[in-house]
Each structure stands twice: as structure tokens, then as C-alpha cells.
Amino acid sequence: MNGDEDIEGGWGAIGYNIGELEITRYYASLQRMLDCHSKQRSMQGTKIKYAVAMSGGVDSSTAAAILLNDGYHVVGVTMDIHEHSASAVDGARKICELLRIEHFVLDARFEFKQRVMDVFASYYARGLTPNPCALCNRDIKMSLLFDYAKSLGASKLATGHYAHMSINDGVVRLREAANPKRDQSYFLALVPRQNLKDILFPLSNMRDKDETRRLAKSFGLPNFKQEDSQDICFIPDGNYKSFLRAHYSDLNMFVSGDMKLFQSGKTIGRHCGVANYTVGQRRGLGVSHSSPLYVKEVNPSENEITLCQANELSTLCFEVLDVNWILEMPDSFEAFIKQRSACPKTPALITKITETRISVELLKRPSSPITGGQICVMYDSENIVIGGGIISELK
């Protein structure tokens, strides 16, 4: 890419509403960074090569600009993973053109469907509530994309996650980000520590998204105002039930069955398919009762939904499967757990059953119900991630 015309043309192609004065200012910021980058390249010769997982969003774009500004050899890598990926691939390509870095695309549609989408559907068919982002980080982004970045000669893969990581004496420490409200360490707890050693989080010290946007603006990135994505990437409209009906009707998740009361076992209504319910759900139950009712159990084998009152909902003991240990721990220890990304931590006693299976005894009532299929992440008193796994079916 050469000259002002190409850079301004790139912004126009991205489609952001930027006036001429703003284009001039952003171009000047970007040009200063790129000029500095060119001088560093000529002075340093061969540099460390980092690949940045890019989606076209402000977080990954800013992560790439930070590394570029620090003088590293940066390339962008993007995954084509489903039918809605085209805009992300195109957006990432245009940002890479602006930054004058190479951009590579990995076709991972087959693997993503097999390891994320099919698993997502199978969880609902089993009465569980999945966390596809955590599964994607473990099985796709920091596994498949990680290996692809290595094949390009990159020594590390950087992402736009808000988390902090350090390595001391060979020990990986994954810690909450500077701002717990923006923290994404919860979604990274399933990633094996040997992979985490070669992952970078350039946004780890950002206090909030506004700070990231200001930094992106100072770098001349035109997507600094881009809104956060709130939905599951392969279900952009957020309607997971329609997605399951359209693509996984063979799993029979929408067959009507009985709704029963906990304790008495009395049938008080009919449900419209197990995939419509999750543990702790109160709204949309379609039954009337003298007191508010909540979903206590989703039982696909009997095609039943069990409802209970609020004081019968809490579960203080449960098991966690497929545990990934980031830190070495004894057979029994106390820690703080998060059973959902937005929940406050709850103190708990952890006991190893096997190396990949643990029992969790909560030492106080959690702020939200324990839900099978969600990720349970263990933290120490300094907000360092001990490990995480998948909450098993609740009995």
C-alpha cells in the first residue's frame, strides 16, 4: 500500500462515518506510528514475529497497533469459522492494510462446527447450558489458530482479551485484568498452560473499554467507536432456539413434556422442549403457582422439567469435569470460584477426585444458581486463575 490515497481509500472501504478533518488527523497519527515502525525495522533488522488474532474489532486492532508501535514484526490472522464470518474477515483485512501488515485467513469451518457448534447443541440436548466462547478459546482459537500462527513463523499469538499473564521461573500465572468488570480470564481458564506460555494480551493493563477506544483513536484506527459484540458469534441475532431448531432438529430438543414440582413430584403443566430451559430460569415457564417458581432440573432422559421455589434452588455441592490446571495444587484446598463470567466469586473447598475431576463445596450461598455445562473457574486470593472445568449435570 502506497501513499495517502490508499490509506484514505481503506478507511472509506471500511465504511466508518469519518469526516475529512478527522481523516487527516487519524492519518497523521497512523503515519507517525508507521514511520516510527519503519525506522525501528531498519535499525533492528530481523525482529520477533507476533501473530495477532484479528476480528476487525477495536480490541484486536488495538492489540496489533500496540505491538507494532513497540517495534515487533506483526502479522494478522483471522479465522473463517461459520457463515457469518465474512464481515470479520473483511474488517480484519482492511485494518491490516491500514497498518501495513500481512493478513492471513485460516479456513476452520469444519473444526469449528465439530468442536464448538455441535458441542453447543449437544449440551442443550443433555439439559446443560454451554459456554461456547470458553470452548472456542480452548479448542479453536488457542489451539488450531495457535498452531497456524506457529506455522507462519510467529513466536507468539496475541489476542484482544482483557486478562493479565506473567511467567516466572517457568510458572504461568493468568490473572484478572486491571478492571474486573472487563476481565476475560474466566473465558481463558480452559486453555492448557503450555499454550498460554505463548499467548500475549496487549490490553491487559487497560482499565476499561473507553481507555482502549482512546488508545485506538490515538493510533488512528477508524473503528475506535465500533460497538461491542454481545451475541454468540455464530448466532448474531441472539436467538439460540431458532438456531437449534434450524440446524439440530434431529436431537429432539423441542418435544413437549411434563413440568413437575420438586419434592411432591406433582405435574403442574407442560413444557415445550428441554432446550427452552436452563437451571435458575424464572421467566417464560408458562405455569401459575402461589409463589414464584424456578427451573431446578432439566431432565432430557425423562423429558421433564422440575420446578422449585427460591429457597430450594441453591446447590452448594457439585462436581466439575475436564479440569484444566494452570497452577499445581494439592489434593484439597480452599479457593474462590466463579460459575458464570459476570458473577462475583464465592469461597469454596475444592477436592480432587481425579486429576481432571473435582468436587466443589461452596462455603456460602452463590449469587446465582449453579448450572450444569457452564464453566467453573478457580481463583486464589490474589485473583490468579488456578484452573477451570465444566460443571457436570446436577443431581
Q: In which element (H, E) is residue 33 found?
A: helix 20-44
177 Cβ partners below 8 Å, 6+ apart? 162, 163, 164, 183, 184, 185, 203, 204, 206
**Any catalytic annotation for residue 376?**
no
Catalytic residue among 96, 133, 136, 376: 136
DSSP secondary structure of 321-386? EEEEESS---SEEEEEEESSTTSPPEEEEEEEEETTEEEEEESS--SS---TTSEEEEE-TTSBEE
Catalytic residue among 36, 96, 133, 233: 233
283 Cβ partners below 8 Å, 6+ apart? none
CA-to-CA distance for 86 and 81, rounded, in angstroms? 9
Classify residue 393 by its DSSP letter.
P
Could you tell me which of 178, 202, 173 has the C-alpha nearest to residue 188? 173
Q: What angle do CA 8, 12, 15 make, to 5 degrees?
A: 145
Classify residue 172 by its DSSP letter.
E
CA-to-CA distance for 235 and 298, rounded, in angstroms? 23
Range 132-157 burial, b when 16+ CB lie within 10 A, else e: bbbbbbbbbbbbbbbebbeeeebebb
**Any catalytic annotation for residue 233?**
yes
Helix (H, G, I), strand (E, B) or coil at 34: helix
Give Cα 85 distance to the centre of its chain.
16
* Residues that are catalytic: 136, 233
